[in-house]
Structure 1
Amino acid sequence: MASLKDNYKERHLFNFYKSWDLDGDGWLTAEDFMSNAETLAVLQRHGKWEEDVVARWRSYLGGWWDILLAEATPSSPDFSNKGSSDRRSGAVSFEDWARFLKKVSILADSYRELPDFLKAYGNLLFVRMDYNKDGLICVKDYRIYVAKNNMDIMRSNDCYAFMLSSTDLRNDSILSRQRFDELFYEYWTSHHPACRGQYILGPYENMSL
């Protein structure tokens, strides 16, 4: 597992590169976000392209993109420390992404207070992970999700077990929707080195970016 000191940054670096930086160049662009919006819309509709769903996801991620891009303006704290050749016009770096996450962790005290676009993302993640559609997440659901997303299937059991609270264990090691939301919130906001939610998007350590 990641060192206790570095796991917050490591999990967000992994998510930045694996899920959002589609061309792997270290920068996020509007094109990355719109392409992801289309992918998420099609996933939601089980492979179907539906214009209203695509438009809704473009709106969700467009709002997210506007906020992120604001972090990459010359007023950003680290902007003056980077030469012009180190910045790309209309692009967002991981440092910009991290500033956005810091603001979310300060402003949101619970899942319900997360930005709408993050809650929409969390809702879709739950639906995708709930493989047997019983409204609950079990270790089998999690393993299937990890395998389908080309993550480390050999670590899925351990990562799932890490997320379980004593109450979850008494409930047959099942995650309810409420518990999933708590873990999803922790993933985005918690700096605690033993944050249980750090694996809700899947294993992330020792993965090639």
Structure 2
Amino acid sequence: MGQIFSSPKLTDFHKEKLLHEFRTFYDLDGDGYVTSEDFRVAKEYICKLNGWPADGEREQTADAVFKSIWESLEKLGDRDNDGRITSDEWLQMWENLYRRMFDKLPNGTMPSIEDLPLWCYRYMLHRFHMFDRTGDGTIDKEEYEYVISHFNVSAATAHKAFVLFSENHQRTIDFPTFCHLCAEYYFSSDPAALGNFIVGKLDW
């Protein structure tokens, strides 16, 4: 898995992964920053993608989660209080979290879900619900491929990514497993860590 916290600063590889997520899932209009409106649009897109009816239980849950995440991101990342988070502020927010984890886990161990702040837990929960279209508590190949293909990932690449991070379908992708994969994506400096592939990108 490679060294996790050799430094409290983001490496170039960490930045590449974090910026890929920022640009792929949130900065949908490509203007270089995200606002509460971007989050609203992203939420509505995901609800429509998954067929969650307006004012239904899953839509209401998604709405509450998105608002909670945005409030946390705005508080932690919007350094100049202009109501938007730039890509630089996004990276700074994650580097602040890295510093906290570096102090908490100096031996380089992978952080567990219990080690992370509430906003980060909610963030991972939202990502899990985005892929778990049926709400059965697991992400299967068809769910993953369907959702990720709507973020400019080809069907072939989506298939390869799922095979990789599910270890050729040997791992059940439930929430604890998904959180572990997310932790690898956000914190591991190893390009071969399986969690790097959860966003459907193979060529790091």
TM-score (norm 2): 0.69
- Check the 8 A contact 2:17/2:186 in 1, yes or no: no
- Check the 8 A contact 1:11/1:205 in 2, yes or no: no
Q: What are the within-5 Å matches in structure 2 for residues 1-209 of structure 1? A: 7-36=13-42, 46-49=52-55, 53=61, 54-55=63-64, 57-70=66-79, 72=80, 89-108=82-101, 109-164=111-166, 172-203=170-201, 205=203
Q: Map Cα deviations across residues 148-181 of structure 1 (whole Å, 9 max, x no partner).
A: 44422221222223324xxx56x73432322111
Residues in 2 aligned to 1:42 and 1:20: alpha-carbon distance in whole angstroms? 16
Residues in 2 aligned to 1:98 and 1:55: alpha-carbon distance in whole angstroms? 24
Structure 1 residues 116 and 44, CA, compared in 2 at 3 Å: closer, same or farther? farther
Of structures 1 and 2, the one with the larger relative CO (CA 8 A, separation 6+) is: 2
Of stretches 139-148 and 49-58 in structure 1, the one that deviates more from structure 2 is 49-58
- Check the 8 A contact 2:65/2:122 in 1, yes or no: no
Q: Which amino acid aligns with 2:76?
A: I
- Check the 8 A contact 1:110/1:182 in 2, yes or no: yes
Matched residues, percent identical?
24
Unaligned runs of 5+ in 1: 74-88
Structure 1 residues 106 and 153, CA, compared in 2 at 3 Å: closer, same or farther? farther
Which structure has the larger Rg over C-alpha atoms? 1
Q: Map Cα deviations across residues 25-63 of structure 1 (whole Å, 9 max, x no partner).
A: 112334334544565677789131369643553233112
Unaligned runs of 5+ in 2: 1-10, 102-110
Structure 1 residues 129 and 34, CA, compared in 2 at 3 Å: closer, same or farther? closer
Residues in 2 aligned to 1:172 and 1:64: alpha-carbon distance in whole angstroms? 35
Q: Which amino acid aligns with 1:158?
A: K
After TM superposition, give the deviation of residue 67 of structure 1 in Å: 0.8
Structure 1 residues 27 and 106, CA, compared in 2 at 3 Å: closer, same or farther? same
After TM superposition, give the deviation of residue 104 of structure 1 in Å: 1.9
Q: Count how many residue pairs are aligned between Structure 1 and Structure 2.
A: 182
Q: Map Cα deviations across residues 58-92 of structure 1 (whole Å, 9 max, x no partner).
A: 2331121121112x57xxxxxxxxxxxxxxx5543
**C-alpha RMSD of matched pairs (Å):** 3.3
TM-score (norm 1): 0.68
Of stretches 126-135 and 8-17 in structure 1, the one that deviates more from structure 2 is 126-135
